[in-house]
Amino acid sequence: MKRILVTGGAGFVGSHLCERLLKEGNEVVCMDNYFTGRKSKIVHLMDNPYFELIRHDITLPYFIEVDEIYNLACPASPVHYQHNPIKTIKTSVLGAINMLGLAKRINAKILQASTSEVYGDPEVHPQPENYWGHVNPIGIRSCYDEGKRCAESLFVNYHESNNVLVKIIRIFNTYGPRMEPDDGRVVSNFIMQALQDQDITVFGDGTQTRSFQYVSDLVDGMIKMMATEDTFIGPINIGNPGEFTMLELAQTIIDLTNSRSKIIHMPLPADDPMQRQPDITLAKEKLKDWKPSVDLRSGLEKTIKYFDGMMLQNTSIKEL
Ligand code: NAD
Ligand code: UDP
């Protein structure tokens, strides 16, 4: 049995990862400061004697004995990471330093949840890992993009200078149950709007593209990356190459929910990437038997069912 620390474990992805690691017979320590995470996402794990919850902010050091660390703590929705940009940078950079320092001290293997945002508004399409990106270093997304880029540099340098066993994954847009309904990301926004027959808010003309990955495919990829040979550190893209415009996404969600919603257009936020699609050649080669297995329609159906159930029960997930 391994003892595994998941920072950001009470968030959307982290809660699924904690659940899956427990199912595989590990002991899991979930660390979170509840900035965007909630206890309600992991409350079903609390009775498990192998699950432990720690309220802690990773911008401050912490000492604990574990075998592996998954470093997920960081707000991921533009609305949330732009709320306090300096705090976002501190979480990415100081958080990485603290977790890498811990990994070094206790000889643990550590995986960084990096992002397709390191490619910025890409001029190479689809994006392979050896593309250096096109990021505005002073724009409204820079606190997140540059914070994550600096974290990648820290991971590589702790590996090269201090022999820390590191893994870097670049996650492309991921969705699924346990996203926050008011999280601000496109999938949760469109589903909540469609379920309530409200206008669907497409930013810009809606021709910008994203590649959407269902959360279980991401969790599979993360665990397989952690298990790769020690000499392979990444970075590696984890995403679903199916590429859709925001107009296509809106129409698919309207169809799947039988909604009476109309599409309206709102201003496109600054520096919003026009296209994004992962090149997953490396992931297919390095991650044993991994490939995205949930297509957009099936993933959306599961996610719609989750939001629908949440609304029906009238249980606000903010209560806990
Ligand atoms: P999320 O906002 O649901 O989860 C982030 C979690 O980190 C929350 O529980 C939050 O409370 C916690 N957190 C934030 N700052 C913290 C701090 N200083 N100390 C301790 N905990 C803190 O987001 P998510 O979608 O689950 O994303 C998880 C990770 O994956 C993030 O690092 C994100 O950058 C990365 N990622 C996600 C996506 C995606 O589409 N979901 C894409 C690329 C990268
Ligand atoms: N978007 C949109 N309507 C919304 C929320 C987002 O059209 O209500 C667009 C946004 O401008 C972007 C895309 O959807 O082009 C994905 O946005 P999200 O915030 O989900 O992720 P990111 O921009 O970080 O990839």
User: pLDDT by residue (tens digit) across 231-249?
Assistant: 999 999 999 999 999 999 9
With the C-alpha atoms ordered 222, 228, 233, 236, is the resulting torsion angle positive or negative?
negative
User: Ligand 1 centre and the CA of 282: distance in Å?
Assistant: 24
Cβ pair 213, 276 in contact under 8 A: no
Number of H helices, E strands in the chain: 9, 13
Q: Phi-psi region for residue 167, left (φ > 0), alpha (ψ -120 to 50) or beta?
A: beta
Decide: 189 in ligand 2 pocket, CB within 6 A.
yes
Measuring CA to CA, which residue among 196, 150, 140 is closest to residue 310?
196
Q: Is 191 helix (H, G, I), strand (E, B) or coil?
A: helix
- As a whole number of angstroms, the distance between CA 211 and CA 242 comes to 5
Residue range 200-218: average pLDDT?
Answer: 98
Decide: 210 in ligand 2 pocket, CB within 6 A.
yes
Q: What is the mean pLDDT of the chain?
A: 96
Percent of the chain with pLDDT over 70: 98
For the chain, the straight-line distance linking the first and the last C-alpha, in angstroms and rounded, comes to: 30
Task: Tell me the per-residue pLDDT of 265-306, one tens digit each, with 9 for 90 and over.
Answer: 999 999 999 999 999 999 999 998 999 999 999 999 999 999
319 has a pLDDT exceeding 50: no
Task: Tell me the per-residue pLDDT of 171-191, one tens digit each, with 9 for 90 and over.
Answer: 999 999 999 999 999 999 999
User: Ligand 2 centre and the CA of 42: distance in Å?
Assistant: 26
Percent of the chain with pLDDT over 90: 97
Examine residue 94 and state whether it is found in any structural domain, yes or no. Answer: yes
Domain limits for position 65 = 3-175+214-240+277-293
DSSP letter assigned to residue 35: S
Tokens found for residue 214: 């269902």
- Residue bearing tokens 């958080």: 95
Is the bond preceding residue 75 a cis peptide, omega within 30 degrees? no
Decide: 58 in ligand 1 pocket, CB within 6 A.
yes
102 has a pLDDT exceeding 80: yes
- Residue bearing tokens 């949930």: 294
Per DSSP, helices labelled H in the chain are: 12-23, 78-81, 85-106, 142-162, 186-195, 215-226, 246-257, 281-286, 296-313
What pLDDT is stored for residue 313 in this prediction? 80
DSSP letter assigned to residue 210: E
Tokens found for residue 152: 């990648």
Task: Tell me the per-residue pLDDT of 37-63, one tens digit each, with 9 for 90 and over.
Answer: 999 999 999 999 999 999 999 999 999
Q: Looking at the annotation, which residues are catalytic?
A: 144
Q: Of the residues 203, 212, 243, 262, which should be mutated to test ligand 2's pocket, given the most ligand atoms within 8 Å of the CB?
A: 203
Decide: 113 in ligand 1 pocket, CB within 6 A.
yes
Measuring CA to CA, which residue among 230, 193, 186, 189 is closest to residue 212?
186
Examine residue 20 and state whether it is found in any structural domain, yes or no. Answer: yes
Cβ pair 169, 112 in contact under 8 A: yes
Examine residue 185 and state whether it is found in any structural domain, yes or no. Answer: no
Predicted ipTM of the assembly? 0.99
Examine residue 167 and state whether it is found in any structural domain, yes or no. Answer: yes
83 has a pLDDT exceeding 80: yes
* Pairing mode, strands 166-171 and 236-238: parallel
Cβ pair 215, 12 in contact under 8 A: yes
Helix axes 296-313, 246-257, angle to 10 degrees: 60
User: Ligand 1 centre and the CA of 117: distance in Å?
Assistant: 14
Q: How many domains does the chain have?
A: 1
Task: Tell me the per-residue pLDDT of 159-171, one tens digit each, with 9 for 90 and over.
Answer: 999 999 999 999 9
User: Which residue's alpha carbon is nearest to atom 13 within ligand 1?
Assistant: 73
- As a whole number of angstroms, the distance between CA 167 and CA 235 comes to 7
316 has a pLDDT exceeding 90: no
Decide: 32 in ligand 1 pocket, CB within 6 A.
yes
Examine residue 30 and state whether it is found in any structural domain, yes or no. Answer: yes
317 has a pLDDT exceeding 60: no
- As a whole number of angstroms, the distance between CA 316 and CA 320 comes to 9
Examine residue 186 and state whether it is found in any structural domain, yes or no. Answer: no
What pLDDT is stored for residue 315 in this prediction? 55
CATH number, domain at 89?
3.40.50.720
Examine residue 145 and state whether it is found in any structural domain, yes or no. Answer: yes
Cβ pair 190, 200 in contact under 8 A: yes
Angle value at C-alpha 178, between 71 and 208, nearest 5 degrees? 85
Atom of ligand 2 nearest to the CA of 79: 19
Examine residue 262 and state whether it is found in any structural domain, yes or no. Answer: no
